[in-house]
Structure 1
């Protein structure tokens, strides 16, 4: 039972201007496959492509994100050994990013930690909302009924959003979750 749905942000002036003025950035950091897909949805809508990223260093938090970038014609210049925001910033410390301008397309609920830590290295970070995570509308009632009936044996959480949304969905009936094995990635 999915507990999150990814929604591309409709075109906004801020998002469009960021894409139309990519030459103002030295770095663009993508934190997820969803961020890549949503950002490029708008890149293509504005009749742009991989050529618009010429001269910009591309960062990806993990290998799946780097693969999504490669599928769109972009080489990842920096992929940390530890695939977390902390791992990304730790590796950036070996590079001189002081004075660089970073563009950080992200989810509406993404923590500010990555931007804050890059800023501490002397860089300027422009965060842009590229997508939203929302509870899905479909299959919720059936999934909730199955959970409450004890018919779900294993629950796998893929992000903090999936945890938040399931807890919101179950409300006062959260003890039903205790009947299942819970795994988090």
Structure 2
């Protein structure tokens, strides 16, 4: 294994849904072979009340985004109903630099990002002044947890803007791949992907024939609860940092 290509000969499997190709390019630069086989798929959640809910967003003091998927779906709604970024006068909180970058891309400015990109850290660190917390809105996915709603010491409204479902079409391909390629490394970015793998693939492959990387302590805990070992977890919760951690 050369110093300039420390992942040479390794297959790096992404089980989530990367939002940009730069992480694949990084794996290739390091000598590895990136393969994307997402176990979950997201799509915008559309309701008849979307326009009405979008128009009420400026009445909230803070909008809270925990994922790029939420930002993308929110941006689609803004475009569909002709709402400009200038009309969204609320302050914006984002979990993660990638989520913040996605918000910037659609014209919104982020005022708060937690030091660790996780909902449980967010609720500890998010401490706006009293006059900034009259109304909060959490832009969520269909299977989002209750941490934001229940552990923030404020009244939090929720708006489901995207759905998360099992990506059935990738399950068989991933099962075959991990059974034949023993030098594979599986990267998990969410408990949702962990659950799908545990239900659909692990009964046939087990957890012990490949290396496992996880983004975040919540995903790590989900893997451990399913009986998996976690070999790599980065201190900064991004896919890029996870790949870089693989070579240490």
TM-score bin (small chain): 0.7 to 0.9
* Mean Cα deviation higher: 31-40 or 138-147: 138-147
Aligned match for 1:22, one of 41, 57, 64: 57
Q: Which runs of 5+ in 2 are unaligned?
A: 1-36, 216-248
Q: Residue 167 of structure 1: CA displacement? A: 1.4
Tell me the residue number matched to 1:183: 213
Q: What is the total number of aligned residue pairs between the two structures?
A: 179
* TM-score, structure 2 as length reference: 0.66
2:162 maps to 1:131: yes
Residues 1:150 and 1:103: Cα distance change in structure 2 (over 3 Å): same
CA offsets per residue over residues 72-116 of structure 1, 9 Å max, x none?
Answer: 111101112222223222222353267511111111111011111
Q: Find out whether 1:6 has 2:42 as its counterpart.
A: yes
Does the 8 A contact of 1:4 with 1:133 survive in 2? yes
SS in structure 1 opposite 2:169?
coil
CA distance in 2, matches of 1:35, 1:173: 33
Greater shift in the superposed pair: 26-35 or 150-159: 150-159
Distance in 1 of aligned mates of 2:195 and 2:131: 35
Query: 1:79/1:172 Cα in 2 relative to 1: closer, same or farther (>3 Å)?
Result: closer
2:120 matches 1:81: no
Which residue of 2 is the match for residue 111 of structure 1?
Answer: 145
| Alignment deviations for residues 3-29 of structure 1 (CA, whole Å, 9 cap, x no partner) | 1111111x2134332202123211100
TM-score (norm 1): 0.87
Aligned-residue CA RMSD in angstroms? 2.0
